[in-house]
Amino acid sequence: MQTNELSNELLRRLADFRPDGARVLSLFLNLDPSQFGTARARATEINSLVDQADRCVREAAGLDHGQEVALREDVERARRFLNGTDFEGAHGLALYLCGPADLFEPIKLPRPIETRVCLNDSPFVEPLAELATRGSWCILLVNRQVTRMLRGSRERLDELPPITDEVHGQHDQGGWSQARYQRSVDKEVHDHLKRSADIVFRRFKRSPFERALVGGPEEIISDFEQKLHPYVRERIAGRVKGDVENTTAEDVRRAAAPAIDEIDRVREREALDRLEEGVGSGGRAVVGIEDTIEALNERRVGTLLVVDGLTAPGVFCRSCGWVGVQDLKRCPADGGPLERRDDVVESAIELAILQSAEVLVSRHYRDELERRGGVGAVLRF
């Protein structure tokens, strides 16, 4: 299908897209293979999405005639596209349309997404932001009324929409006793931290991260950490310094980089030690592309280590996900046809993620891993 892959660059372009006067339709289609694995289930979901879009346009308030006509054409175009497209292993699809501004952007998503429609004066990118920035790091900055959440890596952090609550100042206000006023402020702060913790957990469930850093006034942070879901709390790896509100994402990234570096370096060292130990004792670890991919196909990988930028040509089975570097025509697992790929390392990483393996891209001890063929895996069994 003629679709783009989700990338931060595409996301930025969409986020900056502001058509002059026209409205933008943002459509999201769930293609979760466990629910929509059959053509019939997908067709039903597509019909429901197009019906929602149609209703959304008919019921929208304040459209002028030109906007309405353009939107009806967009809905028709979406209907034709969705019904005529082979979704090839995508787990979700986003489709942005704005005929008058020449926007038609289908994007294949690596994870399921809730089927929904949004009509606005710009593309609705938040559901994608959570998917695109699935880097392993999350930075949480929190104070009495604002919680910021950034996702990504040491090199790049993307900010999700902030969680803001109106909390009154701590100064005295006429008519209220100071004590009573203070209690009400404390309640507001408590509510803000609780709401923030809930939203962070919701975003985490949609797109998990591996490690988190937290920053803000100390007494607020400790209160906030208590309110976080244990799954999120156990991922907190350290603190980040800096102003909660008056900083850009780039300021935050710079402040977080040294902490991320150190935590990553230690993790990578430990994983490499386990790898060497496993290879040495025979059987608990493998190195090199061929043996690593074999272990991935057998779903035995606990930790995958790979150097950044490694590529290898090979074959891939669309029906079961089997990956190989041999020159085969048929999948050894299910006999299905194999497709040639210039690079199967990405497919191998996907396979690792699907078996809940830890994936480490080696940066600090790159040379050491390169001597082992650039890739290796610590095995579960």
> Between residues 146 and 320, which has the closer beta carbon with respect to Zn ion?
320
Binders of Zn ion among residues 17 to 56 (CB under 5 A) are: none
Q: Taking the complex as a whole, how short is the minimal distance between the CB of residue 324 and Zn ion, in angstroms?
A: 10
Q: Taking the complex as a whole, how short is the minimal distance between the CB of residue 339 and Zn ion, in angstroms?
A: 11
> Between residues 208 and 337, which has the closer beta carbon with respect to Zn ion?
337
Binders of Zn ion among residues 229 to 288 (CB under 5 A) are: none
End-to-end C-alpha distance for the chain, whole angstroms? 39
Q: Taking the complex as a whole, how short is the minimal distance between the CB of residue 326 and Zn ion, in angstroms?
A: 14
Q: Which two tokens stand for residue 143?
A: 């104070």
Q: Are 326 and 336 in contact (CB under 8 A)?
A: no
> Between residues 214 and 317, which has the closer beta carbon with respect to Zn ion?
317
Kindly state the number of chain residues that form the binding site for Zn ion, as judged by CB under 5 A. 7
Binders of Zn ion among residues 313 to 342 (CB under 5 A) are: 317, 320, 322, 331, 333-334, 336
What does the DSSP 8-state code read for residue 330? Answer: B
Burial 153-187 (b: 16+ CB within 10 A, else e): bbeebbbbeebebebeeeeeeeeeeeeebeeeeee
Quick check: helix, strand or coil at residue 169? coil
Quick check: helix, strand or coil at residue 164? strand
Q: Are 360 and 305 in contact (CB under 8 A)?
A: yes
Q: Taking the complex as a whole, how short is the minimal distance between the CB of residue 306 and Zn ion, in angstroms?
A: 22
Q: Are 197 and 229 in contact (CB under 8 A)?
A: yes
> Between residues 287 and 317, which has the closer beta carbon with respect to Zn ion?
317
Q: Taking the complex as a whole, how short is the minimal distance between the CB of residue 321 and Zn ion, in angstroms?
A: 7
Site string for Zn ion, 51-80 (x = CB under 5 A): ------------------------------
Cα angle 96, 99, 101 (rounded to 5 degrees) comes to 90
> Between residues 211 and 300, which has the closer beta carbon with respect to Zn ion?
300
Q: Taking the complex as a whole, how short is the minimal distance between the CB of residue 15 and Zn ion, in angstroms?
A: 38
For 229, other C-beta atoms within 10 Å of its C-beta total 14
> Between residues 244 and 348, which has the closer beta carbon with respect to Zn ion?
348
Applying CB under 5 A, the residues found at the interface with Zn ion are: 317, 320, 322, 331, 333-334, 336
